[in-house]
């Protein structure tokens, strides 16, 4: 009866009052409006760039850049192209945000745990840290670290000498660093193979023991394999795979050694400390989301405090932690673009110079936006896959 | 305009043809009539002017203000005085244009821009004029906009700590050098050092204040920029005597105000004002004696001050006494220079050198106003 009356009712409703149809129509209309607006925007943009003689071409990327870049992980000099300079910037961004993410995660986890500690002093210190860093702008923090701390270090002539030898001054930290000799690559290849073989042996032999119960000494065997190959590599490379690259004062600056520049360090420190405060809060909320009963049950089973944390609480907390953690990682990556104020030349800083030197604002900005978009999407893709793995498998 | 007329005419033709078809009665006379209308179109055309002529100038007139991209942190050229007023040599050039346009040097909107912003704001027409310590190069001229008239001849030099022992370019091998990004300075530095086979560490910042902050702290051994800027900045250091500007010049830096391209009228207006300031100094017209000079015996002076003849103001849409107002507002070129950089300049002291009038052995020269 009800079905019948329903169908009768729907037959009676005229088209313009049928909610289902109205909904579809509303969606189509809004889609058309949005698409029309987009179309208008894009055509308008293309027309204006043509009119102003700034066509959307990327030929300039092959022209020599002409400007210096203070530090980078690729070889670069001013005679190389704008494209190369962009690449140097991209790598700089990836390195600083990659190391920032790792360091901020570790620091954030520690502070988040400290915040929940039953030790009153520890948890208050963590609280003070979090509130300080969450409530001042990142840019201020960067200036504080760069001009307030690193620039106030002793001048290069009065560097603090430390064992190693390593030297700390306002020009950065120079440390003695082992570098490969000519034959060093042989050693490196052998120990690389050693690591791979050791892992393979470890897993295979352990698998055999787990299945057959026969003792296979998997730990000792894999360690032996690794040591054997490493020692073989050492002798094959003539006993000197490395030489120590020691920094020494030459003229105005130290030469040689491994250098952490004040610009890079200030950026890394401020990004890490700032983001760690947010990650600490994420960690805290994740841990507090795990039911208290779980902890009590674990204690009742006789697990010790670190075991409760690593075996029971953290694996469950991860499910809550990861989604907001992803956005913190993305924030860190994007915030690295503030580096241009403290003289570290990453993607955005180099792009701004390129805009000025090549006079191509629109194409370069498009490139920058697309690059950041690609980095962010890639980061969230990887973390989303991981997130899916740690979620409950529901049956 | 013409397109619209043709469109109307062709619509008319189509409708007439349609009417003709509908009525099944051929009426060729009416079609002939419409052809007559198309002939009238060229007669209605306005006098030939380049596309875009007057667009920026009209925009400025409607707004009642000149929007200028300026510096706010460079002593002498564009900076804030103790009352927070944006003053300086470059800023006064902008005020001179405003005085010529509206008789009021305060009819300006000063937009602080960074070195790297100068190109984009010109290309997009965000400002009417950039008067911010900008070197004129062929590439910038081609890509950014129209450069008006060189108002300051500068060259890139080096500022070093007195105790560093640096005297020559070769002494700087391996030094850390602070430099502003997005400038010709940065490129000159790279080429000069590459040509001399010297190495250096570039420490680059976007903000001028950060560059000299880092230099003064000792992060760099050397700071490089235009000599005028080095003189300006080192005058503001805690111990100006601990710093020396080396006697090395590695580039030509003709500092020039620029306008967005596309409007020749506006381009000409700004140029005329620059010429007016220079000619005023040549003829000895100052902001204080300008009223007496209006009745000068020299016809050139009377023309420039708008007492007789047309120096071009009517085509530019200016008043006869526009240049007189500009000079009255900011002074002639020499007064302007001395106000900021002269022996008793309020910013710092920099010998005029190349920036003396051509008649006094310098390079400052402008076409006659007549």
pLDDT band of A48, cuts 50, 70, 90: confident
Nearest residue on chain B to A353, judged by CA atoms? B182
- What pLDDT, on a 0 to 100 scale, did the predictor assign at position B366? 95
With both helix axes pointing from N to C terminus, report the angle between A314-335 and A82-115 in degrees, rounded to the nearest 10: 140
pLDDT at A1: 46
Among A124-133, A366-375, B23-32, B195-204, whose mean pLDDT is lowest?
B23-32
Separation of alpha carbons B113 and A356, rounded Å: 13
- In angstroms, the CA B109 to CA B129 distance is 11
No. of helices (H) and no. of strands (E), chain A: 13, 8
**CB-CB neighbours of A139 under 10 Å:** 13
What is the reported pLDDT for B353?
83
Tell me which chain A residues have a C-beta less than 8 angstroms from the C-beta of B221: 252
A67–chain B nearest CA distance, Å = 5
B55-153+255-360 and B156-251 share one fold: yes
pLDDT of residue A158: 84
Q: Do A170 and B219 touch (CB under 8 A)?
A: yes
> Smallest Cα–Cα separation from B68: which of B229, B259, B254, B207?
B259
Give the Cα separation of B10 and B16 in Å (integer): 10
Chain-wide mean pLDDT for chain A? 87
How does residue B22 score in pLDDT terms, banded at 50, 70 and 90? very low
Give A171's contacts in chain B (Cβ within 8 Å): 176, 219
- Where in chain B are the domains? 2-44, 55-153+255-360, 156-251
**CA nearest neighbour of B54 among B280, B347, B264, B275:** B264
Max Cα separation, chain A?
A: 99
Angle at A141 between CA A139 and CA A144, to 5 degrees: 110
User: Does A370 have pLDDT greater than 70?
Assistant: yes
How many angstroms separate the CA of residue A329 from the nearest CA in chain B? 26
Please give the share of chain A, as a percent, with pLDDT higher than 90: 41
* pLDDT tier, A249 (very low <50, low <70, confident <90, very high otherwise): confident
Give the closest of A54, A67, A342 to B187, CB-based: A67
How much of chain B, in percent, has pLDDT values that exceed 90? Answer: 56
Interface mutation vs chain A, best among B119, B163, B218, B221, most A CBs within 10 Å: B218
- Nearest-Cα distance to chain B for A342, in Å, is 6
How much of chain B, in percent, has pLDDT values that exceed 70? 87
A83-87, A243-247, B258-262: range with lowest mean pLDDT: A243-247
Report residue A8's pLDDT band, with 50, 70 and 90 as the boundaries: low
CA-CA-CA-CA torsion for B295, B296, B300, B305, nearest 10 degrees?
-40
Give the residue on B whose Cα is nearest the Cα of A78.
B190
Q: Tell me whether strands B156-161 and A242-245 are parallel, antiparallel or unpaired.
A: unpaired
Lowest mean pLDDT among A84-98, B21-35, B260-274: B21-35
Rounded CA separation B129/B95 (Å): 11
By mean pLDDT, which of A19-33, A80-94, B178-192, B322-336 is the weakest?
B178-192
Distance CA B60, CA B317 (A): 12
> What does R_g of chain A's alpha carbons equal in angstroms?
29
pLDDT tens digits, one per residue of B37-46: 555 545 445 5
Q: Quick count: other Cβ atoms within 10 Å of Cβ A218?
A: 19
- Note the pLDDT tens digit of each residue in A310-347: 888 988 898 889 989 999 999 999 999 999 889 899 99
Tell me what the mean pLDDT of segment A270-295 comes to: 94
> Is the model's pLDDT at B31 over the cut of 80?
no
DSSP string, A191-230: HHHHHHHHHHHHHHHHHHHHHH-----HHHHHHHHHHHHH
User: Using CB atoms within 10 A of its CB, is residue B37 exposed (0-12), middle (13-18) or buried (19+)?
Assistant: middle
Instruction: Check whether B20 has a pLDDT greater than 70.
Output: no
Rounded distance between C-alpha atoms, residue B42 and residue B46, angstroms: 9
**3-class state of residue A328 by DSSP:** helix
Contact B322, B101 (CB under 8 A): yes
CATH topology of domain B156-251: D-Maltodextrin-Binding Protein; domain 2 (3.40.190)
Q: What is the pLDDT of residue B289?
A: 94
Look at residue A9 in the predicted model and tell me its pLDDT.
52
Burial A195-211 (b: 16+ CB within 10 A, else e): eeebeebbeebeeeeee
User: Domain B55-153+255-360's class?
Assistant: alpha beta
Say if residue A248's pLDDT is above 70.
yes
Q: Which residues of B touch A152 (CB under 8 A)?
A: 217
Q: How confident is the model at residue B92, as a pLDDT? A: 96
On whether the CB atoms of residues A358 and A60 are closer than 8 A, the answer is yes
Q: At what angle do helices B89-102 and B322-330 cross, to 10 degrees?
A: 150
Is the Cβ–Cβ distance between B151 and B255 less than 8 Å?
Answer: yes
Are B326 and B285 in contact by the 8 Å Cβ rule? The answer is no
Instruction: Pick the more confident residue, B129 or A13.
Output: B129
pLDDT confidence of residue A157: 82
What confidence score (pLDDT) does residue B25 get?
Answer: 46
Q: What distance in Å separates the CA atoms of residue B135 and residue B149, rounded to the nearest whole number? A: 11
Q: Do B123 and A361 touch (CB under 8 A)?
A: yes
Predicted local confidence at residue A86, as pLDDT: 93
| Burial of residue B58 (number of CB atoms within 10 Å: 0-12, 13-18, 19+) | middle
Q: Would the CA dihedral through B161, B174, A345, A176 be positive or negative?
A: negative
pLDDT for A176-189, tens place per residue? Answer: 888 877 777 888 88
CA distance A324 to chain B (A): 33
Q: How many residues does chain A have?
A: 395
pLDDT band at B21 (very low <50, low <70, confident <90, very high): very low
Per CB-CB distance under 8 Å, the chain B contacts of A356 are: 115-116, 118-119, 181-183
Minimal CA separation from B147 to chain A, in Å: 15
Min mean pLDDT across A236-245, A280-289, A294-303, B118-127 is at A236-245
Q: What is the DSSP letter of A304?
A: -
Q: Which H or E element spans position A140?
A: helix A138-143
DSSP string, B68-132: EEE-SEETTTEEE-TTS-EESHHHHHHHHHHHHHHS-TT-EEEEE--GGGHHHHHHTT-SSEE-S
């Amino acid at each position: 009866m009800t079905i019948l009356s329903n169908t009768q009712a729907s037959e009676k409703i005229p088209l313009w009052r049928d909610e289902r149809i109205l909904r579809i129509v509303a969606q189509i209309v809004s889609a058309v409006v949005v698409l029309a607006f987009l179309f208008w925007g894009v055509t308008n943009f293309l027309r204006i760039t043509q009119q102003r003689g700034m066509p959307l071409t990327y030929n300039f990327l092959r022209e020599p850049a002409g400007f210096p870049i203070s530090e980078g992980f690729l070889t670069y000099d001013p005679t190389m192209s704008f494209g190369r300079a962009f690449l140097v910037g991209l790598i700089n961004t990836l390195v600083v945000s990659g190391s920032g993410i790792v360091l901020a995660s570790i620091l954030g986890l520690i502070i988040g745990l400290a915040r929940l500690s039953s030790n009153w002093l520890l948890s208050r210190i963590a609280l003070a840290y979090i509130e300080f860093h969450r409530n001042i702008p990142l840019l201020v923090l960067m200036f504080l670290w760069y001009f307030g701390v690193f620039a106030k270090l002793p001048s290069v002539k009065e560097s603090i000498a430390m064992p190693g030898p390593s030297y700390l001054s306002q020009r950065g930290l120079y440390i003695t660093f082992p570098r490969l000799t000519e034959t060093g690559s042989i050693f490196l290849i052998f120990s690389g193979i050693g690591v791979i073989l050791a892992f393979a042996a470890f897993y295979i032999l352990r698998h055999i023991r787990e299945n057959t119960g026969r003792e296979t000494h998997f730990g000792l065997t894999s360690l032996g394999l690794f040591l054997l190959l490493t020692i073989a590599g050492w002798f094959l490379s003539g006993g000197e795979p490395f030489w120590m690259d020691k920094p020494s004062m030459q003229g105005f600056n130290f030469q040689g050694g491994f250098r952490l520049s004040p610009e890079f360090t200030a950026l890394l420190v401020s990004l890490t400390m700032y983001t760690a405060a947010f990650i600490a809060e994420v960690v805290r909320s994740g841990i507090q989301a795990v039911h208290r009963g779980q902890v009590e049950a674990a204690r009742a089973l006789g697990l010790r405090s670190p075991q409760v944390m690593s075996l029971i609480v953290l694996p469950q907390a991860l499910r809550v932690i990861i989604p907001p953690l992803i956005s913190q990682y993305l924030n860190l990556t994007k915030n690295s673009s503030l580096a241009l104020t403290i003289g570290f030349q990453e993607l955005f800083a180099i792009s701004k110079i390129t805009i000025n030197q090549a006079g191509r604002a629109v194409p370069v900005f498009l490139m920058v936006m697309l690059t950041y978009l690609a980095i962010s999407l890639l980061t969230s893709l990887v973390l989303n896959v991981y997130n899916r793995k740690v979620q409950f498998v529901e049956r | 305009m013409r397109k619209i007329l043709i469109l109307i005419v062709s619509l008319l033709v189509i409708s007439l043809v349609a009417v003709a078809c509908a009525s099944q009665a051929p009426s060729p006379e009416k079609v002939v009539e419409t052809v007559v209308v198309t002939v009238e179109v060229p007669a209605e055309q306005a006098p030939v002017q380049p596309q875009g002529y007057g667009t920026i100038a009209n925009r400025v007139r409607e707004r009642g203000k000149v929007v200028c991209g300026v510096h706010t942190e460079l002593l002498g050229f564009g900076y804030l005085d103790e009352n927070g007023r944006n003053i300086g040599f470059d800023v006064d050039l902008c005020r001179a244009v405003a005085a010529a346009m509206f008789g009021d040097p305060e009819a300006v909107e000063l937009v602080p821009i960074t070195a790297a912003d100068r190109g984009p704001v010109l290309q997009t027409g965000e400002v009417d004029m950039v008067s911010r310590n900008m070197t004129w190069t062929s590439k910038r001229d081609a890509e950014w906009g129209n450069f008006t008239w060189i108002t300051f001849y500068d060259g890139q030099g080096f500022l070093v700590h007195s105790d560093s022992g640096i005297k020559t370019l070769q002494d700087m091998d391996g030094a850390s050098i602070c430099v502003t990004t997005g400038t010709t300075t940065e490129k000159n530095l790279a080429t000069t050092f590459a040509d001399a086979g010297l190495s250096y560490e570039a420490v680059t910042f976007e903000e001028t204040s950060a560059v000299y902050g880092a230099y003064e702290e000792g992060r760099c051994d050397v700071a490089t920029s235009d000599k005028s800027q080095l003189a300006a900045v080192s005058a503001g250091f805690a111990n100006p005597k601990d710093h020396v500007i080396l006697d090395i010049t590695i580039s030509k830096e003709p500092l020039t105000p620029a306008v967005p391209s596309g409007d020749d009228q506006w381009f000409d207006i700004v140029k005329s004002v620059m010429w007016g300031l220079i000619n005023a100094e040549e003829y000895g017209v100052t902001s204080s004696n300008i009223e007496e000079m209006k009745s000068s015996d020299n016809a050139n002076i009377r023309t420039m001050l708008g007492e007789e003849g047309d120096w071009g103001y009517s085509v530019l849409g200016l008043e006869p006494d526009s240049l007189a107002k500009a000079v009255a507002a900011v002074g002639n070129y020499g007064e302007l220079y001395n106000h900021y950089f002269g022996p008793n300049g309020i910013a710092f002291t920099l010998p005029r050198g190349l920036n003396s009038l051509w008649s006094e052995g310098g390079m400052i020269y402008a076409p006659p106003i007549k």
